A and B are shown apart, each in its own frame.
Chain A
């Protein structure tokens, strides 16, 4: 394995520390092994979902394929409604998070005013005091205003996100001050400057943050479980749980079918756009 010891030709601009030869083989093997372990639950879900129930625990290559589990799952619970609820929920949350976050981040990044640092600390507090820790009090608040069992009730504690504000603030800070000044000289109001200069430049951050927010709220469980009681407001996760905790014990085939069904939009979305996502993270400077 001479290739491993020979230095890379200096002419091409390659990473001198990129592993080669045996090292690369070892590294690839390690990575693939770990990846296999990581993808195992998903692989199992696919297996169980597409095979009859008696094969859920037996891995026979000749097992017949079936879509029966999907039809059973679809019929067993109003998943169409749950999909709609989740879709409304994540859209609602993301829209508010972006609007509120953009305004706040702009103020924190580019306005110099009295009380800014205090405000920043108060906002950062939410990074630690996450809404999940405050379920008891938040439930009470929402009950007082008659919002229990509505989609806004699930969304409200999350629509101001310290994480989002923090990310956007960092991004806005990297926008050259000259661009800001130039726009102002042309007579743009602060809001116009924000919309014309800052927001377009922060696009990767929005994409990266959007991914995090959507996948988080698509999969969030505890809070929606507490504040929803009816099909009209229940998101997918809660619907999935209500449906899978039957008296009769666990039917993995149907649960796996339901799991694939409910995560399909996110999975497909990620498969299609994964390169863009990683690049957004990179360009968003989330590092």
Chain B
């Protein structure tokens, strides 16, 4: 997860854009491959190593990774290139960009390449929670790779101080509230010096909210991505719970909680429990000066969390041979062993249950058991909210959530308004 709405992009504006022409070698199939990471980080070295390893096993294929920056920059680049005629054969883009890429006719489904039983087995080997964001209309458009989910972090020291069992995170909404009440401290003047819990709500509140709404038994959008269900009673109930944490029970900071400062709030002991991405594991591990725990999100009617992150997509404009070669690479890099290695080295969630059974993974989690939490949550994880006109439709929800959290609308009204707006936008797609 990242600040994706920052330049969150969908269909490209440009008619044609400069992209160094991707030469297509005569003999070997050359595969250009867009990867959403800034140049120079540790991930580029990993990907380079994977590419070299793959080329060694497949001398007829030349892999050319291009590090395109953030997710937003990568999709803008990929789509403008798509319009100018030389798109990358393979790219890793946000899973939520699927409908946009389909609408722009930029990608082909993977189904055409699934031929053998082994291929079929491979396709069904991923966590279903990740596949929900990769399939629509009976086809598989993306293969999960760089994925994350929302988890709860808690400060064991503060739990002990509050008389709670430091090894036991809240399991239900009721417990979460109860613990938060015990963990909220006020000074003599009544000012809060330590909050019980915080769920960030700046920028992309919908993603964290999706945890709550899923736990309340609601699904925000249909699999076809052309209808939302924001005004569902479950959604309203979930929002009411969130709003009540702050406004009624006063165990959660009032107003909008900044995503960027939330980990810092946690390190400063200003908050005892926080919801944030699994992508923060390494950061928290490095900066928390106290023992901390990581847990699956507490359950409402049921447990639940959204997934997030990127998928592999195949370009529609590439030749059949290029697509085949790219498919081969995708299969190669998502084998359990490589997925395990990838997860251990980056902190991202491994995408198949089988990878958690590998030796490499077992060694990693023995050293750092918190990494297993993401896996434990995946059986109950759902697709990250994604529809046609994704940016607009999620903004409608974001605005509604922020309106309710800042107290300008009731949860009911906020969700009705958001639904009406989403309905207006999506009508054209049905």
Contact = CB atoms under 8 A, between A and B. Distances in A.
Contacts of A54: 267, 289
B27 interface: no
Nearest to B264: A249
A183 interface: no
Q: Most B CB atoms within 10 A — which of A78, A229, A243?
A: A229
B76 interface: yes
Nearest to A241: B6
B266 to A, nearest CB: 9
Nearest to A239: B38
Nearest to B289: A54
Contact of A245 (B3, B18, B267, B283): B3
A143 interface: yes
Contact of B40 (A78, A139, A225): A78
Contacts of B2: 245-247
A225 B69 CA distance: 12
Q: Most B CB atoms within 10 A — which of A76, A147, A226, A247?
A: A247
Contacts of A77: 38, 40
A53 interface: yes
Contacts of B264: 57, 249-250, 252
A231 B39 contact: yes
A229 B67 CA distance: 10
A242 interface: yes
Interface in A235-281: 242-243, 245-250, 252
A248 B7 CA distance: 18
A168 to B, nearest CB: 34
Interface string A214-243: 000000000001100111000000000011
Interface stretch (B48-56, B104-112, B189-197, B254-262): B254-262
A249 B283 contact: yes
A255 to B, nearest CB: 10
A144 B6 contact: no
Nearest to B283: A248
B16 interface: yes
Contacts of B263: 248-249
A140 interface: yes
Given A229-B76, A242-B38, A249-B261, A147 B16 contact: no
A243 B15 CA distance: 29
A249 B268 CA distance: 14
B279 interface: yes
Contacts of A143: 13-17, 80
A53 B268 CA distance: 11
Contacts of B16: 143-144, 146
Contact of B15 (A144, A149, A250): A144
A6 B268 CA distance: 58
A150 B18 contact: yes
A56 to B, nearest CB: 8
Nearest to A250: B260
Interface string A200-218: 0000000000000000000
Nearest to B279: A247
B7 A250 contact: no
A93 interface: no
B258 to A, nearest CB: 8
Interface in B228-280: 259-264, 267-268, 276-277, 279-280
A80 to B, nearest CB: 11
A80 B261 CA distance: 28
B131 interface: no
Interface in A55-102: 57, 76-78
- Nearest first, the 8 closest Cβ-Cβ pairs linking A and B are A143-B14, A248-B283, A249-B263, A250-B260, A146-B18, A247-B279, A245-B3, A148-B17
Given A148-B18, A225-B7, 10 more contacts: A57-B264, A143-B13, A148-B80, A231-B40, A245-B70, A245-B260, A247-B2, A248-B280, A249-B261, A249-B276
Interface of B: 1-3, 6-7, 13-18, 38-41, 68-70, 73, 76-77, 80, 259-264, 267-268, 276-277, 279-280, 282-283, 287, 289
28 contacts: A57-B264, A57-B268, A76-B40, A77-B38, A78-B40, A136-B13, A140-B13, A140-B15, A143-B16, A148-B14, A149-B17, A225-B7, A229-B73, A229-B76, A230-B68, A230-B69, A231-B38, A242-B70, A245-B2, A245-B6, A245-B260, A247-B1, A248-B279, A248-B280, A248-B282, A248-B283, A249-B264, A250-B264
